[in-house]
Amino acid sequence: MFDEEMYDSDEMEDGLEAIMLERRMAYVRQVSVDEVLDMFPEAPDIPANQELWALLDVQGQPIALAGSESAVKLSAMRHDIETVSVH
């Protein structure tokens, strides 16, 4: 039925990552305060109920952080980065 080599997930991920890097793509997703503290250990105290959105590169490294989805997308747009949402 399916050729397992044809659907090797590592090769697919590497290919997708290369395309995303070439096209300057990044993920946009809402993040928790705990996630922000993991990304930025030096971050100041953030209220637990603060809404936060992150722009992450294809490796999951943070590029930008903002208090709204539109603000983080605007930051991406200013740097010619195409965004995709992660659910």
* The pLDDT of residue 3 is above 50: no
β pairing state of 82-85 and 25-31? parallel
Residue 40's CB: how many other CB atoms inside 10 A? 12
* The pLDDT of residue 4 is above 60: no
- DSSP lists the bridge partners of residue 28 as 55, 85
Measured distance CA(21)–CA(31) in Å, rounded: 22
* pTM score above 0.75: no
Residue 25 near residue 84, CB atoms below 8 Å: yes
84 burial via Cβ count (<10 Å: 0-12, 13-18, 19+) = exposed
> Which tens digit of pLDDT belongs to each residue from 28-73?
999 999 999 888 888 888 888 899 999 998 888 888 889 999 999 9
